[in-house]
Structure 1
């Protein structure tokens, strides 16, 4: 197999990566990605498999230039006859990239966001590689609960759920709760009425929005049944505006209810130990760190890119690598 020495300051900010030999490469395409754990996570997998692969950071929102990078002959795996390496897509490109995809999975279409691009080596369109898009964030949400909670029936099955936020991650959470986690209703809590209206409208148009309920006031929250699963999809900032303060009061009202469940705090940058997570823990909730969602959606990506099953991937090593990263961040 031929190899290439990657020297590309556009797609990599790691000086070591620019000088060592890499046989095949993919990308993390987005902005403000310097602190992302995705490249480290996938590098752990590639290293354990003994493959000279790497995921480079490409800090950009320029989709045409990114599409050209994807057509690089080394942005796929000749090692495997049945599968090609692909790329991760993060904000602000998850929605806009969809206009350029040739095919999408059900999750990608229904959520309305793509976080993973993959290829099939024998399939192209007009002389270029055919782009497939999927959304593994929904798997990350689902697996965070099922890999952590020992008794889903007691904690969140057939109970209301709650999603905090109104962006792309919130849509992924809604889909996971509706599709796989047996939520009877899904409470939406957010500082912005317009964002909530958009989520409900889009989910209804796709056939899974009838169970959504906007919880806008403390009085409304007091009258509701306690949720079993909560997914928080907002940054870790203390509430300042009236809308943020109202949303926090609604959340705390629901957290104080007698029955407790589990909350997935999706925010993990710069730390997964958030203010909201601490509040939930004090109220008796089981807190699942956002790195769990990152890990499980990452394994789903790797299954697509490597053509391996989860049992063949270095699960324990990846968890150790992320735990070490968290420990180092905590010390700093």
Structure 2
């Protein structure tokens, strides 16, 4: 049996509507296997009157090792950090904050998470032309991952044109990929000749029901990926599967980004295969996920 370490890790997640997040059990199960004292807390913006900056400051004072950041705060958090890792600086979004002596460092593990999940789910697909919906925090990481995967043409659609142009500018560091910005109404026309579609919007997640593109526009030969994992089978993923298309749900991304965050928080190497098995079991258990430490461990018990 693994000997329990005297090291203690207090970490958490800041976001909105995160009550069914799988992050606590994913992190805590891996920590238990490694013999770590590890506590993961949910800090839901829907139930608090504090700003993201105030929550970061309070967590730091309470001795948190770090925090994951999710929708809608991945870009808002930037102004409260002391420095950014290279990947976070490139995409302009942070999903992991590590508190080091005298400074708060922002990282982005979403880029790695999406790339790893996509490679596992959709090996050997064509990356000639991809249509991406959404240019927010998750979208920035996705675009960078697609560039690294070899996408030659990225068509980017977001209701916020200014945000889309900012992301396109950031992708200029990848000269092998051209970026075209369109309004959402132009998506069906571009999709007709695309190899892949990625949904990097919140549409389809818990609290944001719906489908980001009408299913009739999903043509044979198209592959479809979604960054959402709550629910794991979004309406978009279901529609694509019903049409016989190859799909990548958000499960692979959430596991790999969690593994990368765990590495940053602890300095320990996680076993992604074990974490994928944990995820599969948790996903099969239903919408309410429990930590290995009992029914109360997922509650917002840390109150910075």
Could you say which TM-score interval applies, normalised by the shorter chain? 0.7 to 0.9
Q: Point out where structure 2 has 5 or more consecutive residues left out of the alignment.
A: 1-5, 290-304
| Higher RCO, 1 vs 2 (CA within 8 Å, ≥6 residues apart) | 2
- Pairing 1:253-268 to 2, within 5 Å after superposition: 253=217, 255-256=218-219, 258-261=220-223, 263-268=224-229
Give per-residue Cα distances to partners, 1:140-172, cap 9 Å, x unaligned. Answer: 111111122332xxx133x11121234322222
Equivalence for 2:300: none
Contact map agreement 2:157 2:164 (CA 8 A) in 1: no
Equivalence for 1:296: 256
Equivalence for 2:117: 144
SS at structure 1 position matched to 2:121? coil
Evaluate the alpha carbon distance shift between residue 321 and residue 218 of structure 1 in structure 2; reply closer, same or farther with a 3 A threshold: closer
Equivalence for 1:322: 279
Asked which structure has the greater CA Rg, the reply is: 1
**Which of 141, 158, 162 lines up with 2:131 in the alignment?**
162
Q: CA deviation at 1:31?
A: 2.6
Which consecutive segments of 4 or more residues in structure 1 shift more than 6 A?
A: none
CA–CA distance in 1 between the matches of 2:196 and 2:249? 16
CA–CA distance in 1 between the matches of 2:187 and 2:74? 33
Evaluate the alpha carbon distance shift between residue 72 and residue 276 of structure 1 in structure 2; reply closer, same or farther with a 3 A threshold: same
Contact map agreement 2:203 2:210 (CA 8 A) in 1: no
CA–CA distance in 2 between the matches of 1:207 and 1:235? 24
SS at structure 2 position matched to 1:47? helix
Equivalence for 2:58: 68
Q: CA deviation at 1:226?
A: 2.3
> Is 1:228 paired with 2:196?
yes
Q: Point out where structure 1 has 5 or more consecutive residues left out of the alignment.
A: 1-20, 76-84, 240-246
Q: CA deviation at 1:232?
A: 4.4
CA–CA distance in 1 between the matches of 2:133 and 2:203? 10
TM-score (normalizing by structure 1): 0.72
**Which of 191, 210, 231 lines up with 1:238 in the alignment?**
210
- Pairing 1:190-205 to 2, within 5 Å after superposition: 190=158, 192=159, 195=160, 197-205=161-169
